[in-house]
Structure 1
Amino acid sequence: MLDHLAFEPPKPKVIAGAKADWELVIGLEVHAQVSSNAKLFSGASTTFGAEPNSNVAFVDAAMPGMLPVINEYCVAQAVRTGLGLKAEINLRSAFDRKNYFYPDLPQGYQISQLYHPIVGEGEIIVDMGPGVARRVRIERIHLEQDAGKSIHDMDPHMSFVDLNRTGVALMEIVSRPDIRGPEEAAAYVGKLRQILRYLGTCDGNMQNGNLRADVNVSICKPGAYEKYQETGDFSHLGTRCEIKNMNSMRFIQAAIEYEARRQIAIVEDGGEVVQETRLYDPDKNETRSMRSKEEAHDYRYFPCPDLLPLEIEQAWVDDIAATMPELPDEKKARFVGDFGLSEYDASVLTAEVENADYFEGVVAVCADGKGAANWVINELFGRLKKEGHEIGESPVSPEQLGGIVKLIKSGDISGKIAKDLFEIVYTEGGDPAEIVEARGMKQVTDTGAIEKAVDEVIAGNPAQVEKAKQNPKLAGWFVGQVMKATGGKANPSAVDALVKEKLGL
């Protein structure tokens, strides 16, 4: 399915320091909010934007005696995600308590999966240019509950806590340190987001915090990464710093660039990089220390006594696998193979599942893949982008756009008439075929009528005729005049052929 791609080993971005060249090593922990109406361990709503503390069950607020109950749908969503990333599904997993104190964590611990995650090793294929891709290994995916939100900007003297997010199901998707540059990191997050949206397991809304990444960055001398690959010894990779809660592809790239240069300056000055958690300030384009980086033992993990180990059956996993949708790489390859599209056009059309569904709706009507791609990408997407709309807000339905392309294919209208028709459908609506009939927009294909128009234009412009005989390229002028005289309704190919015949070209 991916035979058209040339897989390459990770290519490091080399940064020249004052004293030596350095390479980047990057790993990401992406927190994806599970698309579910209820939380991981309670029936409270996950609706975004609700009044503070209105989506809170007793168990979310850590009321005494309240016990968590696992949401089966969230488990299924995690399994579906694992299958989409070609990962191992663990039929037995378990929940642990991650203990730390923070005002927006009412229990004093987070229920997570450290020792026995629900999903094991997988991979993501990251597109890195036409026909070139990289494999990034996934170490694990585990389920955990989100914390609440501390609000500091409502009153200069007080902080507030909103527990609406407390207990919302998260999938933490942990990569191996296989990413070697800022652009590749952003491409990885983009590809992961695309897959999750195709699967329907996370909406990928980074602005709302539904998809956010913790970025681990370290620097090493050239050749050190290869030693890590051979030995599995992380000490070759240098001390890592974690940049928390990144929710923008652009900021991820900028933060990595800054952090790498910061670490290089420290090491080349004779200092040592301190393992810590940092925050990125986009206004100053810098990372700042947040706290020392904790290790697992700092959180005093232990098995959650309120939850039995989670055991699922292979038959249940197989049932989920049977409902898996066509994923973006497979869909892109099919668009190239079945419709003869270029890699670029197929990439644009499969970037979002809604785009792909719209395109296939157009093809279903017109049976012309290339024609449909041209009109969807250039005319429709261009217009929607100009007006700041998404595909779901398009005033032109797939059936309507398919009808326009079908009329072009049948020869009923020309490309110029099609653009006028598109404008009418976009602004007024209606059935394209009925509009063409009612407004007399059908293309003139009667050669007699076209010949008469050609003769009149030639007869009225003898000087231009002589110039065209000297320079055949000027025949296009006559074609334009005939199209103008027929209100753009004449068949352009027929006009061009008749003009050349009449001029003896």
Structure 2
Amino acid sequence: MALSDYLVTIGLEVHCQIKTKTKMFCSCRAGFGYEPNTNVCPTCLGMPGALPVLNEFAIERTILTGMMLGCTTPPLCKWDRKNYFYADMPKNYQLTQLDLPLCIGGEVPLFPWSYPADVIAAGVPPFRTVKLDHIHLEEDVAKLTHHTNHSLIDFNRAGTPLMEIVSQPDLTSSDETYAYLKSLQQILICGGISDADMEKGQMRCDVNVSLRPHGQKELGTKIEMKNINSMSAVRRALEYEIRRQSDELDRGIAQVQCTRRWDDERGESILMRTKEDAHDYRYHTCPDLVPIHTAPLVERVRGEVPELPGRKHARLMEDYALSEYDANTLVADMAVCAYFEEAAAASKHAKKIANWVINTLPNILGDKETTLEECPVRPQALAGLVDIVEEGIVSNNQAKEVLEALWENPGISAEEAANKLGYKKADTGALDAILDKVIAENPKEVELVKGGNAKLINFLTGQVMKASSVKPNPKIVTELLQAKLGI
């Protein structure tokens, strides 16, 4: 059978670190980049007698996530112990939620701009949403670093609030899975829930994939894949695993439920273990934590639901008359979108600002090897720069010099930067006199221009620029010359 003879079914378990100041069940700092084992206490080290204290803010952020994704929050949730023995969990159980999670149902929209670039270029599939099963809250585990003969453990991460967003088996391809992760990441960032940076481990996912022949209603045997640390790696891992399962099924090899590890360097998945079932973890209700009545928390966060990417995309097109491409590009990065909107609020030329933010600014950031967050050019300064371009004070090429000056002098306005470079709005009377003088001094060139030699107009423009005490916009000078010469 060919690969096309099988139906692919994919479900994801996305683990997302919630952006909180402290951990889930203790007052230790939560965050990335600290020296190993410096943000620890008896609770997150699993010391005997240490008791957990709930982080209410983490619960609120999870409920808010559920609201953004259209989930239902049940009136009561509780905590369970997931028992297992491994070095990343010193107390030998993880505090999680088994059967009464904080959020149930919901869906994730697959935004058109969230697909891989090659899919977008070929034509994005019709819009659809992916159904969620539930969202539950748990504590993260310690970070293990494996060496040849030993492993190192960093407990800074242990106890960090971790939200697990579990989809239904509702995805059908690696491209959809990529778009799902990208869309979900955008929504989490938009709500301030998490920075969701996969490279920093703030967002991780386990992928479940199965194949079944067309016409078979029952799902195939589920294979879980772990150790996937980027969206592009998820796409590669799925493409490999789908081919692997298809080849084995073609050869009559029945699939066995198991967990596989993705090796991105080798480009293959490697068997880790046969999959445990829920009863293998001996779940039971945690006696140290009381159930939570959610109604007051739901009311507290109801007004915090932000403008989501889908609505923001529509508003950008409506309010600023942007093209769908420009709106797609801006909404794909919430920081870029916020920068654009702040600049657009200070100018009447939103479409021109969008062009600068989408095309010019990223090139400069790349040349200077920096990020938008570190960019010294304020949105208001960029708006001022676009304004003086549109007013004809500077040309597009001159504007790049002004932008460089703004970069070096972040406290000044675009007009001040232009003045320092000698770019000023030319005095019409003085410029008119210079035009007459240049025309009078270059009769041969003037006749050739009138005769159809359009290139020579650039020579006359250059003569005007040399004779002017300021640096007028060459485009304006050319237009004035053309008007005087009647061409």
Q: TM-score, normalised by structure 1?
A: 0.87
Q: Which amino acid aligns with 1:345?
A: D
**1:40, 1:167 within 8 Å by CA — same for their partners in 2?**
yes
User: In structure 2, what is the equivalent of residue 219 of structure 1?
Assistant: 211
| Of 384-393 and 180-189, the range deviating more from structure 2 | 384-393
Over the matched positions of the two proteins, sequence identity in percent amounts to: 37
Q: Which amino acid aligns with 2:463?
A: A
User: In structure 1, what is the equivalent of residue 402 of structure 2?
Assistant: 421
**Are the structure 2 counterparts of residues 424 and 160 from structure 1 closer, same or farther at C-alpha, using a change threshold of 3 Å?**
closer
Secondary structure of 1:279's aligned partner: strand
User: In structure 2, what is the equivalent of residue 485 of structure 1?
Assistant: 463
User: In structure 1, what is the equivalent of residue 115 of structure 2?
Assistant: none
In the TM superposition, what is the alpha-carbon distance from 1:96 to its structure 2 partner?
A: 1.1
Q: Which amino acid aligns with 1:365?
A: A
1:280-359 correspondence runs (5 A): 280-313=262-295, 315-359=296-340
Aligned to 1:113, which of 61, 74, 97? Answer: 97
**1:206, 1:212 within 8 Å by CA — same for their partners in 2?**
yes
1:429-440 correspondence runs (5 A): 429=410, 430-440=412-422
Give, in whole Å, the separation in 1 of the partners of 2:184 and 2:237: 19
User: In structure 2, what is the equivalent of residue 171 of structure 1?
Assistant: 163
**1:90, 1:118 within 8 Å by CA — same for their partners in 2?**
yes
User: In structure 2, what is the equivalent of residue 499 of structure 1?
Assistant: 482
Give, in whole Å, the separation in 1 of the partners of 2:434 and 2:311: 47
Q: TM-score, normalised by structure 2?
A: 0.90
User: In structure 2, what is the equivalent of residue 21 of structure 1?
Assistant: 5
**Are the structure 2 counterparts of residues 184 and 93 from structure 1 closer, same or farther at C-alpha, using a change threshold of 3 Å?**
same
**2:24, 2:160 within 8 Å by CA — same for their partners in 1?**
yes
Q: Which amino acid aligns with 1:305?
A: P
Structure 1 stretches lacking a partner, 5+ long: 1-14, 228-235, 469-473
**Are the structure 2 counterparts of residues 44 and 413 from structure 1 closer, same or farther at C-alpha, using a change threshold of 3 Å?**
same
1:158-237 correspondence runs (5 A): 158-224=150-216, 227=217, 236-237=218-219
**2:402, 2:421 within 8 Å by CA — same for their partners in 1?**
no
In the TM superposition, what is the alpha-carbon distance from 1:346 to its structure 2 partner?
A: 1.4
Give, in whole Å, the separation in 1 of the partners of 2:404 and 2:346: 19
Give, in whole Å, the separation in 1 of the partners of 2:440 and 2:260: 77
In the TM superposition, what is the alpha-carbon distance from 1:457 to its structure 2 partner?
A: 8.7
In the TM superposition, what is the alpha-carbon distance from 1:170 to its structure 2 partner?
A: 0.4
Say if 2:70 is the partner of 1:92.
no
Give, in whole Å, the separation in 1 of the partners of 2:420 and 2:24: 57
Give, in whole Å, the separation in 2 of the partners of 1:258 and 1:33: 28
**Are the structure 2 counterparts of residues 423 and 158 from structure 1 closer, same or farther at C-alpha, using a change threshold of 3 Å?**
closer
**Are the structure 2 counterparts of residues 360 and 269 from structure 1 closer, same or farther at C-alpha, using a change threshold of 3 Å?**
same
**1:124, 1:135 within 8 Å by CA — same for their partners in 2?**
yes
Give, in whole Å, the separation in 1 of the partners of 2:330 and 2:457: 35
Write out per-residue CA displacement over residues 61-88 of structure 1, whole angstroms, 9 at most, x where no aligned residue: 2222222111101101101111111211
In the TM superposition, what is the alpha-carbon distance from 1:481 to its structure 2 partner?
A: 3.1
Secondary structure of 1:366's aligned partner: coil
Secondary structure of 1:461's aligned partner: helix
Q: Which amino acid aligns with 1:307?
A: L
**1:414, 1:443 within 8 Å by CA — same for their partners in 2?**
no
User: In structure 2, what is the equivalent of residue 50 of structure 1?
Assistant: 34
**1:445, 1:491 within 8 Å by CA — same for their partners in 2?**
no
Secondary structure of 1:69's aligned partner: coil
Structure 2 stretches lacking a partner, 5+ long: 113-119, 466-470
In the TM superposition, what is the alpha-carbon distance from 1:451 to its structure 2 partner?
A: 4.5
In the TM superposition, what is the alpha-carbon distance from 1:221 to its structure 2 partner?
A: 2.4
Write out per-residue CA displacement over residues 28-73 of structure 1, whole angstroms, 9 at most, x where no aligned residue: 1000011111111111111323233222221222222222111101
Say if 2:363 is the partner of 1:382.
yes
Moved over 6 A (4+): none
1:355-370 correspondence runs (5 A): 355-370=336-351
Give, in whole Å, the separation in 2 of the partners of 1:453 and 1:335: 49
Question: How many matched pairs?
Answer: 469
Give, in whole Å, the separation in 1 of the partners of 2:370 and 2:74: 42
In the TM superposition, what is the alpha-carbon distance from 1:338 to its structure 2 partner?
A: 0.4
**Are the structure 2 counterparts of residues 443 and 28 from structure 1 closer, same or farther at C-alpha, using a change threshold of 3 Å?**
same
1:393-472 correspondence runs (5 A): 393-429=374-410, 430-444=412-426, 446=428, 448-449=432-433, 451-452=435-436, 455=439, 459-461=443-445, 464-465=448-449, 468=452
Q: Which amino acid aligns with 1:253?
A: R
